[in-house]
Amino acid sequence: MHGPASSGWLLVALCAATGAYCLLRMRSHVAEQRRAAGGEALMGFGMAVMAVPAAVFTPPAWAWPALAVVFGAAGLHALWAARTGVRHLHHLVGAGAMVYMAVAMAASTGKGHGHGGAGVPLLTGSLLLYFVAYVLATGVRLVPVAAVAGGGRETGWGDRPELARACRLSMGIAMVAMLLTM
């Protein structure tokens, strides 16, 4: 995005790997986990595209509005899904943050100057606070607890809750990094 190319590529790799793992999670036997994994895969790959260092590749002018439309649709889907549970509100905030970053990037590239300084500081700060709190809360939930003896059937890669949390944690960290560079 805006920082040094090496950290940008690390962010691209993290987001792409997270998106790929979320695609694997879509093989779960639980329908709700499959749906959540699909949205998280979209978020991971979208973040990977947005994190490509600007010094290496400048996307075409239509890319930012296209990303805004895609994540706007994802936000509407999350809003609709929030009727069944508040856990979907995080996806709504994440999609909204992606729309915000895409619009800010489109506006900053249209003015002919670099990526730095794009966006509304108050909104960027609010999103940063939200995602920092989310990262800290998710990190605490990853702290191991004593395993229950006879925990039931063997779980596949798509049904491991600690890996899903680690996936969400890495996307939250990536979102913080992307917001910091705005």
Distance CA 67, CA 56 (A): 19
- Return d(Cα 132, Cα 172) in angstroms, integer: 8
Task: Using the predicted structure, report yes or no on whether residue 172 has a pLDDT greater than 90.
Answer: yes
By the 8 A CB rule, do 66 and 105 touch?
A: no
User: What is the average pLDDT across 116-131?
Assistant: 87
Query: Long-range contacts: 16-25, Cβ < 8 Å, 24+?
Result: 16/44, 16/45, 16/48, 18/44, 18/167, 18/170, 18/171, 18/174, 19/43, 19/44, 19/45, 19/47, 19/48, 20/44, 21/163, 21/167, 22/167, 24/157, 24/158, 25/157, 25/158, 25/163, 25/164, 25/167
pTM equals 0.84
Share the mean pLDDT of the chain. 85
- At 113, the pLDDT band (50, 70, 90 cuts) reads very low
Q: In this predicted model, what pLDDT tens digit does every residue of 143-152 receive, in sequence order?
A: 776 555 455 5
pLDDT tens digits, one per residue of 55-102: 788 888 899 999 999 999 999 999 998 888 888 899 999 999 999 999
Rg of the Cα atoms in the chain: 17
Tally DSSP H helices, then E strands, for the chain. Answer: 6, 0
